[in-house]
Structure 1
Amino acid sequence: MVNDLLGERLFSAAVTPMAADESVDLDALAAMIDADLTRGVEGLYVCGSSGEGVLLSEAERKSIARTAVTVAAGRAPVVSHIGAMSTGEAIRLAEDAKDAGITAISMIPPLYYGYSTPDVVRHFRAVIDAVDLPFVLYNIPQFTGRDISEGGFEELLELPQVVGVKHTSRNLYGAERIIQRYPHLSLINGFDEFYLPALSIGARGAIGTTVGVQIELFLALRRRFSANDLEGARAVQARINDTVEAMVAEGVFGAAKHLGGKNSVPLGDCRRPLPALDDAARSRLDQVWERLQENIARTAAEERVASEV
């Protein structure tokens, strides 16, 4: 039986708003979260890749998680990424997350020192055993150099505390194998451009950088897929991908802040060494925003027509 804690929800991989001095802007974070949930976002994933988690201090990560729980106020689950370079720091973040009321915690493998797979498993296991919270393994091999779906993590995937895998990888074969071998887990799509293909192999929800920017399209795709309207679902995926492609061209994390700010308040630039957007990039993204609004309106109009047939 699949653990239904996360369900088929669409989670925003939330960005972390920054003030001009690169300090975390918790007021802007609160405004962004409230606006996204009002628009239909169904869950929050904070301090991950999109949230610049590895560039934040331990104290900043704790304050972001607590702010997200407070603003969500039970409207949506909040998953906090607590991956850290040391096991001790990850445990401290996990303990604080539990105290804050976080729904679940998530981790990437530790980086830099070339740890063996057993080393990484022990790191994960120490955190899982230290704090009684649901746990989501974060598979993002293009950043970590390690693909959890290729094996070696069976001990973790069988633990009752592990409720899902956030699969941010183009390896859909590996994702399908996890789904077949561990049917109790939720396989959560992490690449927005693969949402429909991931659903087709049995993935459930999604946690993505552009979910908050274009939640209307993700919801429409899910409705069409559930109704077996595959042609319609493919059309919406193509519209999602138009936005993804344009954002990646400008630097996806900075682009997510620029576009996400249009739904709430300005969210600032990324923390260095991630690059800031220049004026030309912002101008191009303004055009992306206009096309996105056209795609959202077009998709809604199609659904109105279909409902009248």
Structure 2
Amino acid sequence: MYEQLVGIIPPMVTSFGANGSIDEEALRADARYLIETAKIHGLAVCGSTGEGHTLSIDETRLITAVVTETAAKRVPVITGIIANSTAEVIERGRAVRDLGVAALQVTPVHYVFRPDDDAMVRHFAEIAAATELPVIIYNVVPWTYLSPELLTRIITEVEGVIGVKQSAGDLKLLADLLIMTGSRARIMTAVDALLYPSFALGAVGSIAAILTAAPTLCVELWEAVQAGNHKKGLELHEKLLPVWNAIFADNLPANTRYCMELQGRAGGIPRPPMPATSEEQKGPIREALRNAGLI
């Protein structure tokens, strides 16, 4: 039922204009580029790369509507929700329910107090039931990071939770999760630095900022691993890792936009208070893209 959620699914940046509004045409243009030129397999909006924590419910609906309309069912679209209460997640999910999204990508709460495991199970159960949409858990918040055991419990007990976007840099946690969930869930990697081993271990795809920064290379990497061409996979990994090393910073969405700009794609500007890419960051990013053959 959820086999369409596979492969390279870039988390799109949100195209903000100088006045903070959503640049719908830039959003459409990049969705078209990613689908028609880069040949990606799906799109995600309103996640952390899209600065989803800054978006209102109306903006979340608008962005989702623009991208689903542009995708026109050629690829599935996932809407991200970053919110701190079960009720707000449900409200946002219901706001996009009629737009044809394939799933919601939902973070655990990101305030400093962590709900216990039973409360976490109830949180995702209520979201899935109330929105009537498939849910992918975006496992990224450091102090609310969910163990492979808890993620497996949620997937087992909660109808409607169909997978996990496993973030952070610990590849062993991804490997454990893949073994524990087996074929019951769509396990996507967001270990940007280690896409090649993630795919080799069996991740069904990726939703990660590096895919937006360098989509064509990431599609090539996915296809190489699926074809069993690990020599090419390793070569592509060696091109992508320096790109990730150059862009990884607290202003990652801004640096992802700079990669887009260097490749002729408009991504708008960060939403304050996130700073734009600094002059010190631009040089290493340009060099990494040049060495990767992207510019």
Q: What's the TM-score once normalised by structure 2's chain length? A: 0.90
> In the alignment, which residue of structure 2 is the partner of 1:306?
none
Q: Please tell me whether the aligned partners of residues 239 and 291 of structure 2 are also in contact (alpha carbons under 8 angstroms).
A: no
> In the alignment, which residue of structure 2 is the partner of 1:301?
none
1:288, 1:256 → 2: CA distance?
13
CA spacing shift, 1:227–1:41, aligned 2, 3 Å: closer
> In the alignment, which residue of structure 2 is the partner of 1:31?
29
Q: Please tell me whether the aligned partners of residues 114 and 143 of structure 2 are also in contact (alpha carbons under 8 angstroms).
A: no
2:266, 2:222 → 1: CA distance?
29
Letter in 2 for 1:50: T
- 1:4 matched to 2:9: no
1:266, 1:98 → 2: CA distance?
28
Matches within 5 A, 1:95-174: 95-112=94-111, 113-140=113-140, 143-158=141-156, 159-174=158-173
Query: Shift of residue 269 of structure 1?
Result: 2.1
Query: Shift of residue 254 of structure 1?
Result: 0.8
Deviates further, 27-36 or 244-253: 244-253
> In the alignment, which residue of structure 1 is the partner of 2:87?
88
SS in structure 1 of the partner of residue 165 of structure 2: strand
Percentage of pairs with the same residue: 24
Letter in 2 for 1:257: R
Query: Shift of residue 265 of structure 1?
Result: 4.3
Query: Shift of residue 280 of structure 1?
Result: 5.0
Q: Please tell me whether the aligned partners of residues 124 and 161 of structure 2 are also in contact (alpha carbons under 8 angstroms).
A: no
1:227, 1:279 → 2: CA distance?
40
SS in structure 2 of the partner of residue 65 of structure 1: helix
CA spacing shift, 1:20–1:161, aligned 2, 3 Å: same
Query: Shift of residue 6 of structure 1?
Result: 1.0
From the CA coordinates, give the structure whose radius of gyration is larger. Answer: 1
1:170-214 Cα offsets, whole Å, 9 max, x none, are 232222222222222121011221111112221111111121332
CA spacing shift, 1:170–1:220, aligned 2, 3 Å: same
Q: Please tell me whether the aligned partners of residues 246 and 281 of structure 2 are also in contact (alpha carbons under 8 angstroms).
A: no
1:133, 1:94 → 2: CA distance?
8
Query: Shift of residue 221 of structure 1?
Result: 1.8
Q: Please tell me whether the aligned partners of residues 213 and 257 of structure 2 are also in contact (alpha carbons under 8 angstroms).
A: no
Runs (5+) with no aligned partner, structure 2: none
Query: Shift of residue 161 of structure 1?
Result: 1.6
1:76, 1:168 → 2: CA distance?
23
SS in structure 2 of the partner of residue 163 of structure 1: strand
SS in structure 1 of the partner of residue 235 of structure 2: helix
1:259, 1:3 → 2: CA distance?
31
1:265, 1:172 → 2: CA distance?
31
User: In angstroms, what is the RMSD of aligned CA positions?
Assistant: 2.2
1:267-291 Cα offsets, whole Å, 9 max, x none, are 2221122112234544554444433
> In the alignment, which residue of structure 2 is the partner of 1:75?
74
CA spacing shift, 1:20–1:164, aligned 2, 3 Å: same
> In the alignment, which residue of structure 2 is the partner of 1:300?
none
1:255, 1:6 → 2: CA distance?
26
Deviates further, 73-82 or 257-266: 257-266
Runs (5+) with no aligned partner, structure 1: 298-309
2:172, 2:2 → 1: CA distance?
22
Q: How many residues align?
A: 291
Q: What's the TM-score once normalised by structure 1's chain length? A: 0.86
Letter in 2 for 1:100: L
For residue 19 of structure 1, the aligned residue among 13, 17, 20 is 17
